[in-house]
Amino acid sequence: MRIGSCAAAWTLPALLAVFGCKEDTIAPEVPEPAAITIVSGSGQIQGRGRRLHEAVVVRAEGGNAAAMPGVMLTFEPGPNSGEVRPSSILTDSLGQVAVEWTLGDVVGTQTLVVSSAGGNARVVVAATARPGDFDIQLVVDTGFTADQVAAIRAGVERWTAVIVGDLPDHVFPEGRVPFARCADYEELEIAAGGSVDDVRLGMGIERDNEWVFRSANCGRRRLESLLPLLVYIGIGESFLASLDASLEGFTAHAVGHLLGFGYDWGPRLSNRVRDLGEGVDTHFPDPATVAEFDGAGGAIWSGSKVPVENQGEAWLVDHHWRSSAMGDELMGPDYHFGGTADLPLSAVTVQSMATLGYEVDLSMADPYAVRVPDPVAIQVGPVTQLVAVEVFRHDGWIAEVVHKMTPYPEKPR
């Protein structure tokens, strides 16, 4: 049999196939990362059995911390920690992957273990399942740091801890693009078919207004209850830097107003300064709220209850608890920006939210006793002042409040 030069064209695998033999398969080497790091999405708080608002994003890294694309990572929820999709995925060109995590039904800390195929690298992502079903969807500007986002989220969660009742999801079949005074708030853009559960809060950085912060209700309310649906907080870069450690408390205070505290009281408030002038006995007479005020030590208060601020700037009066009685409470007057992080969210405030239509859990309120606090002043410097402009809707409700640091007028010489 002559094979001749043609035999050289036959490769070993081909000859083995012809003669019915099988070549041993050698598996390609799977890249194994030195470490897996969390990019974003850890530390979120959500209701039981609900999907986290932010995707969990992790990164595979080599020994020199360089990104490793094409690495298979596996995601496994811990006990009673829900489910994740997808459960395994290859890293992208940046060495990153993103997955959606739906929490389990157990209240407390839940975990998600991320590991490499060989098991040499792993990281644990944590989230907290709260008992209540009320949710605030937080969408933040990419300019915020991770620490700032954590502080903002903590401020928001002070309200989702005490407001517990779920509201129907609001679906936007055609999507929604912010318009009018909210036109630039891209954090409130909603894709076609998107939904809001229960309130969507956009948090932006006002890069053209260094010393401004604004809070706005962006037009849409729930028809059945008139509760807010889309809200926004914008903070100037310099103002943001000045907040520092008080960002959590500032956020909590601002969110309280956007959910309706003070801003949506309307006819529930008696003796409004806006109608009758400074010094009148402005108060919030809801019986259940008065009962909480009395229980916190307010029974000895000689005036009408619950006392509401009746002295000062227009943005202070009618919207906050009175400083002489509850100036040390989270929803007291706004001039304590430097220290709101530790101020208690009392059962008095929580019960007042129930009058607006929220389902609340008074047991989750902070311990609080009505007392006469020492005067507290905002730290604005010797030559600046805080001024505010309120924008009202046609029905008298506040739609937006814009605050700005400005120089004091010069004194006559």
Crossing angle of helices 347-354 and 287-295, rounded to 10°: 170
* Predicted pLDDT of residue 216: 81
pLDDT score of 30: 67
Q: Residue ranges per domain, the chain?
A: 35-130, 136-407
CB contact at 8 A, 387 and 407: no
Which candidate, 360, 395, 321, 296, places its Cα nearest to that of 163? 360
pLDDT digits (tens, 9 = 90+) for 187-219: 888 889 988 888 999 999 988 777 778 888 886
- pLDDT (0 to 100) of residue 271: 94
CA 187 to chain centre: 12
- Residue 109: what pLDDT? 96
- Residue 167 buriedness (CB in 10 A; 0-12 / 13-18 / 19+): buried
> Which helix (H) or strand (E) is 275 found in, with range?
helix 273-276
Taking the C-alpha atoms of residue 93 and residue 274, their distance in angstroms, rounded to an integer, is 59
Give the number of other Cβ atoms within 10 Å of residue 352's Cβ.
27
3-state SS assignment for residue 177: coil
83 three-class SS: strand
User: What pLDDT score does 411 carry?
Assistant: 40
pLDDT of residue 402: 52
Query: Which residue type is seen at 25?
Result: T
- pTM, two decimals, is 0.75
* Short-list 205, 234, 232, CA closest to 219: 232
What residue ranges of the chain have pLDDT lower than 70?
Answer: 1-30, 219-220, 223, 334-341, 372-413
Q: Give the containing element (helix H, strand E) for 195.
A: strand 194-196
Between CA 372 and CA 305 the distance in angstroms is 15
CATH architecture entry for 35-130: Sandwich (2.60)
